[in-house]
Every structure is written in structure tokens, then in C-alpha cells.
């Protein structure tokens, strides 16, 4: 039997070396054998095509797009400074308190007349401020923001609109949340002005976007006060965009506005660039109370009395019922 020897000085064809391409190390053994059995040119072509396909597959799974890795945020809407409604008449108050971030917003109504002219909104906000600081002895207005029927957003509590200012709007859940109050009364059957609804969505989208929170998601908040719907220290799962009544025993923000919250959540999520209808993930971070009480000044509670509404106008029925917590 003749044994054909390779002429001295010739080199083996590199078909098998190509099998050591880093992108081909995970190929099934059968595929490697098949490639090795192909004639020289066919094997080379097959290897190039296979390597290209493997590299594309690896690249598509290991390198997510910028859109996938980018945080979902929304632009800051126009916000009128609190100087527009304080008119220089503010009470002495301690420095603002801050949390690390805002992971939820609570929607309220001020339970005041709806037939105001929008030019009167600053005066109406000043009335809320006086009712809370003079009548209840809180250190400042409890809400972080207020929105009028024309969709104008006003800065509420002092400390900076872009900072996580600790408010006094929802007893038990004032930490790591922001309070947004709709100027007016929105009980059952009362229409919510579209401009107001849009402004609330824009504000919530921006504020929650600062912490990467999906407005449609649920968040875990730790109650700091047993007078809320949850005992102190209890971890509650609440909507990231919630109504006051979700965290406290109250009818606030009124049945009409509460019924609009699902639409507001969806609009806020879209403003953050999230896909409509996508199922949001629950925020696994637990936002607690920092071990502090939800208080205004001198131990007065923010977001409590009023027959349950945090600071909504109710004449004088609750002004003398603010309680000190030891």
C-alpha cells in the first residue's frame, strides 16, 4: 500500500486553525467535525460565515443598545417659584429637611372652590399656607407642589424643586415622596380639567424620573406613623403615583381625581419614554422613614387632621385638633 507523504516544506491548510476562532469555541462538536470534513475552499467560506453569525449573535446579547441602558427621564416642566404666592409674607421656619431621593408621589386636592380665576391661584395657595402654618402650626406649607386648573405648576414647600425635600402631606409616608396638590375639590362627578391632569403627569414624570421610577410601578414604603393606613414600621406596597387615600384613611384626592390616576400614570410613563402597555417592574428598593416623625413644627404632624385630609381647606373644623406626637 502506498502512503502519500506531504512534500517537505509544504504547510497544512489552515482550515482547522480557524476552528480556534474565539467566537467558535462554543460550536457543537458535530458542526466542528462537519467543517473539518469540507474541502479547503468550502471549509474556509463556511468558517467565515459561521464566525460572522456567532459574533453578531454575541454582540446582540452582550451589548444592549443605548436606549435600553439609558435611564427613563422626562424634562422638568415650567414651575412657578414660591415667591409668586408668598408675596414676601412667610413665617419663621427651620431649614428644609431632605431625603436621599423621591420614589413616589401622592396626589391631593385642596378641597377649596373650583370656580377661581387662574390669576387668583397664588392667593389661594397663600390661603392654604396660612391655614397650615398659622392654624395648625406647621413649619411650612405641606405640599411640595400645587397645580391650578389652568395647568400652572407652583413650587410649594421650600427647599428646591429638584431636590428630595421632605414634605408634610401624607401622614406615615412623607419621607422619600413628594406631595402634589390639585387646587380645587374633585369629588365624584366633578370633572378634572385636562390642563391640570396633563400638568400633574408632566410633574410626576419628571420628579419620579430623577430616581428612575416608573410611574406605573409599585414601590415599597415603610410607614413612619401608626395613624396612617399602616402600623409604624410596616412595609407597604403602594403605587409610585398614588392618591392620598392609598396611604391614609381619607377621601382625598376625591373620587373624580382618584379615578383619573391610571391615565395620569400611563401618560407620565410615556413622557419618560417608556413603552405603552409594558408591564412595569416593582421597585425593589425599600423607602423608609429614616426613623423620623412626619412632623411640621413643635411636633405638629404634617398630613394628618382635617378629617383625614392633609392640609385641605375645611374652614376651622380641624385647626385646633392638630396633635403632638411624643
Residues 6+ apart with CB under 8 A from 248: 170, 171, 172, 173, 228, 229, 303, 308, 310
Task: Report the pLDDT value the prediction gives residue 277, as an integer from 0 to 100.
Answer: 76
**CATH fold for domain 79-287:** Lysozyme-like (3.40.80)
Task: Dump the DSSP string for 141-177.
Answer: -S-SEEE-TT--EEE-SSS-TTS-B--SSSTT--TTE
Give the residues across from 314 on adjacent strands. Answer: 316
Q: Are 215 and 268 in contact (CB under 8 A)?
A: yes
Mean pLDDT to the nearest integer, 109-124: 98
Any long-range contacts for 64-72 (C-beta under 8 Å, 24+ apart)? 71/209, 71/212, 72/209, 72/212, 72/214, 72/272, 72/273, 72/274
CA atoms within 13 A on the CB side of 153: 20
Give the range among 7-11, 47-51, 99-103, 175-179 with minimum mean pLDDT: 47-51
CA–CA distance, 12 with 17 (Å, rounded to integer)? 10
State pLDDT tens for residues 199-218: 999 999 999 999 999 999 99
Better-predicted residue by pLDDT, 47 or 86: 86
CA–CA distance, 96 with 84 (Å, rounded to integer)? 19
CB atoms within 10 A of CB 151: 18
pLDDT at 21 over 90: no
Better-predicted residue by pLDDT, 278 or 133: 133
pLDDT at 101 over 60: yes
Q: Is the pTM of this model over 0.75?
A: no
Task: Report the pLDDT value the prediction gives residue 40, as an integer from 0 to 100.
Answer: 55
- Average pLDDT over the chain reads 77
Helix and strand totals (H; E) in the chain: 8, 9
Give the range among 34-38, 105-109, 167-171, 248-252 with minimum mean pLDDT: 34-38
Give the residues across from 239 on adjacent strands. Answer: 218
**Angle, in degrees to the nearest 10, between helices 40-62 and 29-37:** 150
Task: Dump the DSSP string for 71-83.
Answer: ----PPPPEE-TH
Q: Are 313 and 145 in contact (CB under 8 A)?
A: no
CA–CA distance, 133 with 90 (Å, rounded to integer)? 9
Better-predicted residue by pLDDT, 172 or 12: 172
Mean pLDDT to the nearest integer, 258-277: 96
Task: Report the pLDDT value the prediction gives residue 292, as an integer from 0 to 100.
Answer: 46
pLDDT at 168 over 50: yes
Better-predicted residue by pLDDT, 170 or 300: 170
Domain ranges of the chain: 17-62, 79-287
Better-predicted residue by pLDDT, 281 or 154: 154
Q: What is the dihedral angle through the alpha carbons of 208, 209, 213, 214, rounded to the nearest 10 degrees?
A: 100
Q: Place 91 in a pLDDT band, splitting at 50, 70 and 90.
A: confident
Q: Place 184 in a pLDDT band, splitting at 50, 70 and 90.
A: very high
Q: Place 296 in a pLDDT band, splitting at 50, 70 and 90.
A: very low
pLDDT at 172 over 50: yes
Amino acid at each position: 500500500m502506498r502512503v502519500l507523504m506531504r512534500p517537505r516544506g509544504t504547510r497544512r491548510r489552515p482550515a482547522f486553525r480557524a476552528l480556534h476562532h474565539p467566537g467558535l469555541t462554543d460550536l457543537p462538536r458535530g458542526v466542528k467535525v462537519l467543517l473539518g470534513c469540507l474541502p479547503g475552499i468550502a471549509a474556509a467560506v463556511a468558517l467565515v460565515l459561521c464566525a460572522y453569525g456567532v459574533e453578531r449573535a454575541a454582540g446582540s446579547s452582550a451589548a444592549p443598545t443605548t436606549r435600553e441602558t439609558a435611564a427613563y427621564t422626562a424634562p422638568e416642566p415650567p414651575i412657578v417659584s414660591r415667591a409668586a404666592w408668598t408675596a414676601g409674607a412667610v413665617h419663621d421656619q427651620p431649614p428644609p429637611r431632605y431625603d436621599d431621593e423621591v420614589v413616589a408621589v401622592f396626589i391631593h386636592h385642596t378641597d377649596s372652590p373650583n370656580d377661581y380665576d387662574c390669576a387668583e391661584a397664588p392667593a389661594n395657595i397663600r390661603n392654604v399656607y396660612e391655614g397650615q402654618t398659622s392654624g395648625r402650626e406647621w413649619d411650612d406649607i405641606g405640599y411640595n407642589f400645587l397645580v391650578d386648573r389652568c395647568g400652572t405648576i407652583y413650587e410649594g414647600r421650600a427647599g428646591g424643586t429638584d431636590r428630595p425635600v421632605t414634605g408634610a402631606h401624607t401622614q406615615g409616608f412623607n419621607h422619600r415622596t413628594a406631595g402634589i396638590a390639585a387646587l380645587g375639590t374633585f369629588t365624584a362627578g366633578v370633572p378634572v380639567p385636562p390642563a391640570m391632569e396633563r400638568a400633574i403627569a408632566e410633574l410626576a414624570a419628571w420628579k419620579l424620573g430623577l430616581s428612575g421610577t416608573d410611574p406605573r410601578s409599585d414601590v415599597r414604603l415603610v410607614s413612619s406613623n401608626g395613624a396612617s393606613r399602616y402600623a409604624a414600621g410596616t412595609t407597604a406596597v403602594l403605587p409610585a403615583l398614588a392618591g392620598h387615600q392609598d396611604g391614609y384613611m381619607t377621601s382625598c384626592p376625591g373620587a373624580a381625581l382618584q379615578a383619573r390616576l391610571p391615565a395620569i400614570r400611563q401618560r407620565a410613563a410615556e413622557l419618560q419614554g417608556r413603552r405603552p402597555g409594558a408591564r412595569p417592574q416593582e421597585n425593589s428598593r425599600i423607602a423608609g422613614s429614616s426613623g423620623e416623625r412626619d412632623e411640621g413644627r413643635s411636633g405638629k404632624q404634617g398630613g394628618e387632621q382635617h378629617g383625614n385630609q392633609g392640609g385641605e381647606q375645611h374652614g376651622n373644623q380641624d385647626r385646633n385638633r392638630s396633635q403632638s406626637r411624643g
